[in-house]
Structure 1
């Protein structure tokens, strides 16, 4: 097989180069389709019973949750709840949201159920808010799920089941943009939950890949310049870059995501690629030397 390929390459060198360039360009276009993945399907086989059962459960009762934690010495104030209501208004039009549970949603539900008593809906004064939240000075039991203690309360944003990573990222970015834009002095806020952790992991993976590729490129240029004493000493580096582009581009065309597991392939690909490229170029140089001596 290799001999047949060698004969074709030697017989049609220009055409072979042309088709190779076309293939590399097509593979390079596929790089745009590459995406990071950190979901459950990267850890468990999607066709397994466990994964399918979990997927069915998420479709019925919602998927992962994003938690917004509020910390304040004076927690259940009108200012804090209005700030929290701003988050609810920002996210309520997003189709990826399954449900939102917070002190605000509970207050709004109480206002709707008691429309005669609270005709204005969401309370406009602290006194009205206190009447809805407290009963004889004690926190109403309905708020115990979202009010942890006197200093902490939470907003639970549950996503739809099987929500894509891109959709999770959109929700997280909308949430972070609101918190950056609408700063609140009376409370400290923190955003957490598995979707947030996965988003941070994907971002870290992207930065790690860029750093790894850049550092590997610099090291290979230095090593090849010092150790590989031949003409076109940086040619193996070009060969490896083409191989990396081809591999990543093929992953893009086939919609194969980059995961924490598949990232381990790139150091191996670079290491083996530069090794084989050097050996191939060296062997080619030896054969050219033999032909020149025979002449």
Structure 2
């Protein structure tokens, strides 16, 4: 309390300095937001010391083209003709000039490789094309071209942009269209969507905040010129937080682009709580200075606890092990600290500077709907607390089943906007050619000769025949057998045939002392794949190869992301609960006061999980943070209710009356902050990213449930424990 006394004194004396400092900080932050970098992909999901990610990175550097490809769709009425094939060859030459593009595969290139030229006789062209390149002609109206990408992920955007430019420079034959897809193209288009998504969500969040403040908060502030002050705080908060991102080295990703609407929604809570208490004190006839000082002191403790617990919830995301979630948590936590400081410094400074009018006591002009709802909540919680607690227990128990059954979504392609041109083509590609998921076995070899290739061919065949979920494999030995009929017997012959295959193709399988085999796997969920991954590891060891090896590939990393989601969620949840409980216990020195805010949040987490299961939502990288986020956000409401309840009890009011006064006086600010907070998350529904829009829905449910629990379960539990203590005291008195 001494700190709050000192702060209130500083605010009264330094009101003008505070305003000037905030304005300067806002201008600097606005300028610095131009330096925010964008990032995406596996490096935002895995820490650099994660072993499996290191193996994937090592494989990417060594083999390059085995990691990603760009697919070009050439469509027309009938593309298997000389003119279209000649265009494909020209397109291949142009795109091959892009630094980072390796081998080109297409039916046109296959025909040239077989015959040495492109035949003008279209019957002969069709015969060779369908015999040797049928995979790249899934139907006569479509030809596929595959360009292997040899550069690492950091070059994908540049490569994709250059590929688009070179496609645009060439004029296809009449009636023929050309479009590109593949991981680099998708990443490039995703990055463009991230900035657009953030602007859309930010705009929607501001609009929802304005609507909520006008509808709900107008009953709290008497002078409408102050109606949007909480929104000012939230916009300042978001800008200052984003301005710090470049200084902290935090990029904008699919996850961190949601920070703006979230901060806009969360920041209003602190401002709404201060403004609610300030207006309450002014209506009592107190001066601006008195009302400001009392508001800072009375709301300051609750706001401090609410801020710290929410910060703990966000910072617990660091325990997830996912860099993108850690960045999200850090920037959000910093933003909340900024919002807290602005609410108890800038807002009173503005009021001290501009508020010159008197407040009038409200005259009864009918009871608004919100007040009737709050009165109902207070009566229900105070007088029928046993029914409230029993109903809560039943609902929570039923929800636990659903919470434990919520599925996981580890397909990153489902996280991104499905209407991106490259994404639509990617989905079409999958429907045409089937599964492209591959487990890549990378072996360390001491020497490379025909015997080595034969040994690995036998191993690959053994694994293929042992596992029904492995549908094919690709290896250097298999290419040699397909192209030349057999594997050479001597090293001299091997070198000659590898030269005929081409270095760019060989490098996909052989790099220095590393040899790769690509196993194509059937589509399956992550649990089934984890079993397959473990079985393949055992099969290779059982076969008896002496070469050290590891398994990698996109689908392998997706499996480890699923593990991170599950384990990370558990770590974040336990860390949040433990840290929040210890904080409350330290502050209140009372197990009862420490446990009260945690009970409704536990209920909310389980009930929200049950709703996710019923409504068909999945856990993703982002929704994995929902538990710790709910603990951090939802506990705010409970703390505000509990603080005011104990304040009224210290005045001598009965538990029932204390609940009624508490809900009546702070219910509307809590309702305002809860609805504005919900509005911030609801703004994510406007995001084109499914991962963000789904997160918006489940977060919205969690906030509304937290709000409901704070206004019903918390007061009911407080009355229950107070009456229980009273009964125990009476019994102990009788026994004495």
TM, length-normalised to structure 2: 0.33
Distance 2:96 2:4 in 1: 61
> What is the aligned partner in structure 1 of residue 153 from structure 2?
162
CA deviation string 1:211-268 (max 9, x = no partner):
2222222222233234333332222111111111122222233342333333444443
CA drift of 1:177 comes to 3.3
The correspondence of residues 23-38 of structure 1 with structure 2, limited to 5 A, is 23-38=25-40
CA drift of 1:156 comes to 1.1
Kept in 1, the 8 Å contact 2:230–2:272? The answer is yes
Does residue 68 of structure 2 align to residue 77 of structure 1?
Answer: no
Does residue 181 of structure 2 align to residue 192 of structure 1?
Answer: yes
Does residue 220 of structure 2 align to residue 220 of structure 1?
Answer: no
> What is the aligned partner in structure 2 of residue 262 from structure 1?
256
> What is the aligned partner in structure 2 of residue 242 from structure 1?
236
Whose Rg is larger? 2
CA deviation string 1:69-98 (max 9, x = no partner):
224453333321333244334433432324
Classify 1:225/1:149 alpha carbon distance in 2 versus 1 (closer, same or farther; 3 Å).
closer
Distance 2:289 2:77 in 1: 88
CA drift of 1:39 comes to 0.9
Kept in 1, the 8 Å contact 2:74–2:176? The answer is yes
Kept in 2, the 8 Å contact 1:68–1:192? The answer is yes
1:290 is aligned, of 283, 286, 300, to 286
CA deviation string 1:10-37 (max 9, x = no partner):
4444444333333222222222233443
> What is the aligned partner in structure 2 of residue 252 from structure 1?
246
Distance 2:240 2:55 in 1: 37
Kept in 2, the 8 Å contact 1:96–1:168? The answer is yes
Kept in 2, the 8 Å contact 1:33–1:255? The answer is no
> What is the aligned partner in structure 1 of residue 269 from structure 2?
275
Classify 1:286/1:90 alpha carbon distance in 2 versus 1 (closer, same or farther; 3 Å).
farther
Classify 1:82/1:287 alpha carbon distance in 2 versus 1 (closer, same or farther; 3 Å).
farther
> What is the aligned partner in structure 2 of residue 97 from structure 1?
101
Kept in 2, the 8 Å contact 1:34–1:257? The answer is yes
Structure 2 residue matching 1:75: 3-state secondary structure:
coil
Distance 2:101 2:4 in 1: 55
Kept in 2, the 8 Å contact 1:96–1:167? The answer is no
Structure 2 residue matching 1:74: 3-state secondary structure:
coil
Kept in 2, the 8 Å contact 1:69–1:155? The answer is yes
Q: Structure 2: which 5+ residue stretches go unaligned?
A: 291-736
CA drift of 1:100 comes to 2.9
- Alignment coverage as a number of residue pairs: 278
Distance 2:93 2:183 in 1: 23
Structure 2 residue matching 1:156: 3-state secondary structure:
strand
Structure 1 residue matching 2:236: 3-state secondary structure:
helix
Classify 1:259/1:8 alpha carbon distance in 2 versus 1 (closer, same or farther; 3 Å).
same
Distance 1:292 1:45 in 2: 51
Distance 2:213 2:286 in 1: 24
CA drift of 1:204 comes to 3.9
TM, length-normalised to structure 1: 0.75
Kept in 2, the 8 Å contact 1:80–1:186? The answer is no
Deviates more, 1:78-87 or 1:240-249: 78-87
CA drift of 1:273 comes to 0.8
The correspondence of residues 95-134 of structure 1 with structure 2, limited to 5 A, is 95-106=99-110, 126-127=120-121
> What is the aligned partner in structure 1 of residue 415 from structure 2?
none
1:88 is aligned, of 73, 82, 92, to 92
Structure with the bigger RCO (C-alpha within 8 Å, sep 6+) is: 1
> What is the aligned partner in structure 2 of residue 42 from structure 1?
44
CA drift of 1:172 comes to 5.1
Classify 1:94/1:280 alpha carbon distance in 2 versus 1 (closer, same or farther; 3 Å).
farther
Q: Structure 1: which 5+ residue stretches go unaligned?
A: none
> What is the aligned partner in structure 1 of residue 168 from structure 2?
177
Report the structure, 1 or 2, having the larger helix content: 2
Structure 1 residue matching 2:287: 3-state secondary structure:
helix
Classify 1:238/1:99 alpha carbon distance in 2 versus 1 (closer, same or farther; 3 Å).
farther
Classify 1:78/1:213 alpha carbon distance in 2 versus 1 (closer, same or farther; 3 Å).
same
Structure 1 residue matching 2:251: 3-state secondary structure:
coil
Classify 1:247/1:293 alpha carbon distance in 2 versus 1 (closer, same or farther; 3 Å).
closer
Deviates more, 1:54-63 or 1:80-89: 80-89
CA deviation string 1:155-208 (max 9, x = no partner):
112221233453254245425634xx7354343444222233334444444333
